[in-house]
Amino acid sequence: MSCRPAIIDNWLAACGEKPSILASVALIALGSNLESEHGSPVEAVKSAFASLQELSNKPVLYSSIISSQPLECPPGSPDFANAVLLLIPREGETARSLLACLHQIEAQFGRKRSGLVNEPRVLDLDLIAFGQQTSSDKNLLLPHPRAARREFVLQPLCELWPQYSFPDGSGTAQILLNRLRAA
């Protein structure tokens, strides 16, 4: 009996892929809490789904969009629209090149980095994981060091793939979400 949920199986079938491809899937967390030319934060996240499709070798799989309160953000920051997206990277894509593409998409959406930590933004794209790679490079931390402590990442990830196991051995998405909610 497979421990992978049907949604992953259905996605693999639609992509014409075998389960072994899951070892190379990139996980991206999306967030927005400012209006932009794309509309509301929810509309910006939906538009970002289409932009991220361009980075994938196959159709992307994305969660529903949830609303979350700002975490460690400046006082008065608006609520976020959040989602998680899975993609199969293009041939030759590396974690570093994918991260550069994510930053480029953020800029295209109008994100301006002022240097303030966790400031409101029109679009935030975080590379949560790239296959089973780990990296402690300050410019490319994999898996994302705060993903396991963020319900707004784990909840949508569990919708798609609750048995996803983080490459650093911290646990599955569902176990981490349960721990976070119990704390």
Positions marked active-site? 111, 121, 124, 126
136/162 Cα distance (integer angstroms): 25
Q: Are strands 26-32 and 135-137 parallel, antiparallel or unpaired?
A: unpaired
Structure tokens at 12: 């693999």
If 0-12 CB within 10 Å is exposed, 13-18 middle and 19+ buried, where does residue 108 land? exposed
Question: Kindly report the CA angle at 93 between 88 and 96, in degrees rounded to 5?
Answer: 115
3-class secondary-structure state, position 20:
helix
DSSP track, 106-148: HHHTT----S-TT---S-EEEEEEETT--EEETTEEES-TTGG
Q: Residue type for 54, please?
A: E
